[in-house]
Copies of this chain bind each other. A is one copy, B any other.
């Protein structure tokens, strides 16, 4: 075994090519075994094993900086940089995170849970090295999916003209982001992929690159393989382009990386990889094997996820109303858009990883009287604050946001935490926000938001299985008040998934108001809560900008003084399973009981 807890970049460098190939296989087996057990990202990590080995053969972290984009392709890097043991506890409390974390290791130069940020971050790091005189290359590895994001373009545009030295962007082209890459860039890449590859000699390389690479080329003993497509999009943006290369050929990768390492202008290396490489089921269906979900495995198929409930209901609504359009940002399957997309392809739009475009595009649809619904993860909706305010809200355009993965996110950790959407959305004048708990409530809220509301509405719901109990109301209601058998002065206000725990406190002597519409606060509920002398809030949201803050301010402004206490999410939560996170936040029954003083 080449792979054990003593593996490190120096050992990788010292290996022969044959050993590196064997190492790749061992890493691949380890990833499959750990991800099968702990959940995590499978396909993308199987695709980048050889690339990461080649990078560590040529560069030296942390002197050289690697920035992965999106960072879920970083497992091999973690395994090779002193985290072999931690990797066995991937995504668990005190194990390694599923994404790069500088606070976890000096070998992780930058965080990487959201797409499209690597070139900008890398340019900042390169500029800092220039200013401080620190040596070292900066290497950003970005998937072709990330290249559908405007952030990448802003980064390339700034980098291409910066004169940044030892600045390398590796385009990891696996022909898909999470689902199939769409857009003109994808088509362009596809055309480049099929371009005949030229095998260049060192003289020819020298000739093309001019003086900048002369040191490199004269030092290179071997013939450098590189296909140069002249006058391409990347060259237009000021990069020297190398590719397309076989991303599973360690030798070829090493040769080209050694060359570009010495070139003193920004370089783009185009690498073709295969998502799921080496694991036949994942190769065949990389979308399905993009992320494995522990919960999904455990709970099997006894109930639908919130995403599926949303997906089936929006498809029904699409049948009833032909103005409804569905928009996603590269999350067709993950958010359940596939049902609608199949039935109404002309009214379904996948923006790529381009959330800003998705909102502005939706605003365009809305300006012509259509009914756009944008299904998006809470954490990625953070990208659209300005678009929602400026492009949509000022002119009071109609739009429904279906905010998936809202609240605690478990093993994905702080980069994917869905606790900031409520506070952000409540800053938008005129917005309505729903937070259903059961599958039935989700269907009801969605129906109301899409068919009845005006302006912007948002329906937020968590990751995981949507319970169909209790059967509750047949019709949509803004809230449900659960009364204790005892007469009580204590009222708990809560919403969504954690209301299941709160409702149990009725048997200990508190009334519980479960909000379904969380903003604006329902008027009749407001009347009902005035009589309590103690109101306790539990919110699966960041404590700042919470419903609790807003409501207690309103109550006191109206002169209604009581004791208002609030328990909400206080900051960024480390990765852990959902149960642990729930307990750590004080949302389990026992903690709630204690906080409520029961």
Interface set of A (CB-CB < 8 Å, partner B): 101-103, 109-111, 113-114, 116-117, 120-132, 134, 148-161, 182-188, 231-233, 236-238, 325, 346-347, 349, 351-352, 354, 356-357, 360-370, 372, 379-380, 382-383, 385-387, 389-391, 393-395, 414-415, 420, 423-424, 426-427, 429-430, 542, 544-545, 548-550, 552-553, 555-557, 559, 561-566, 570-572
Contacts and interface: CB of A to CB of B under 8 A. Distances in A.
Contact of A346 (B131, B356, B395, B549): B131
Given A121-B361, A363-B121, A187 B161 contact: yes
A561 B572 contact: no
A356 B150 contact: yes
A238 to B, nearest CB: 4
A236 B188 contact: yes
Nearest to A104: B395
A135 to B, nearest CB: 12
B132 A368 contact: yes
A159 B364 CA distance: 13
A183 B114 CA distance: 24
B566 A553 contact: yes
Contacts of A420: 389, 427
Given A364-B120, A427-B545, A154 B357 contact: yes
Contacts of A185: 157, 237
7 contacts: A124-B361, A149-B150, A158-B182, A548-B553, A550-B553, A555-B556, A559-B563
Contacts of A424: 385, 424, 427
Contacts of A111: 390-391, 394-395
Nearest to A349: B127
B364 A542 contact: no
Contact of A549 (B128, B231, B549, B563): B549
A121 B391 contact: yes
A240 to B, nearest CB: 12
B390 A415 contact: yes
A121 B116 CA distance: 21
Contacts of A122: 364
B571 A124 contact: no
Contacts of A129: 368
Given A117-B390, A185-B237, 13 more contacts: A113-B390, A120-B360, A124-B366, A124-B372, A128-B365, A153-B153, A233-B236, A382-B386, A385-B385, A427-B542, A429-B542, A556-B564, A557-B566
B385 A110 contact: no
How many identical subunits does the complex contain? 2
A368 B184 contact: no
Listed from nearest, the 3 A-B pairs whose CB atoms lie closest are A124-B364, A150-B150, A160-B184
Contacts of A233: 233, 236-237
- Say what secondary structure dominates the interface of chain A: helix
A102 B395 contact: yes
A159 to B, nearest CB: 8
Given A117-B360, A120-B360, A394 B160 contact: no
Contacts of A549: 549-550, 553
Most chain B CB within 10 A, of A128, A186, A325, A414, is at A128
A400 B385 CA distance: 20
A362 B124 contact: yes
A343 B161 CA distance: 21
A420 B155 CA distance: 26
Contacts of A545: 423, 426-427, 544-545
A594 to B, nearest CB: 16
Given A391-B111, A394-B414, A423-B545, A183 B155 contact: no
Contacts of A553: 548-550, 552-553, 564, 566
A161 B148 contact: no
A352 B187 contact: no
Contacts of A365: 124-125, 127-128
A352 B154 contact: yes
Given A161-B182, A556-B561, A557-B566, A351 B154 contact: yes
B121 A395 contact: no
B347 A131 contact: yes
Contacts of A561: 556, 561
Nearest to A519: B544
Most chain B CB within 10 A, of A382, A565, A570, is at A382
Contacts of A357: 120, 151, 154-155, 157-158
Contacts of A564: 553, 556-557
A481 B347 CA distance: 59
A120 B426 contact: no
B354 A134 contact: no
A101 to B, nearest CB: 7
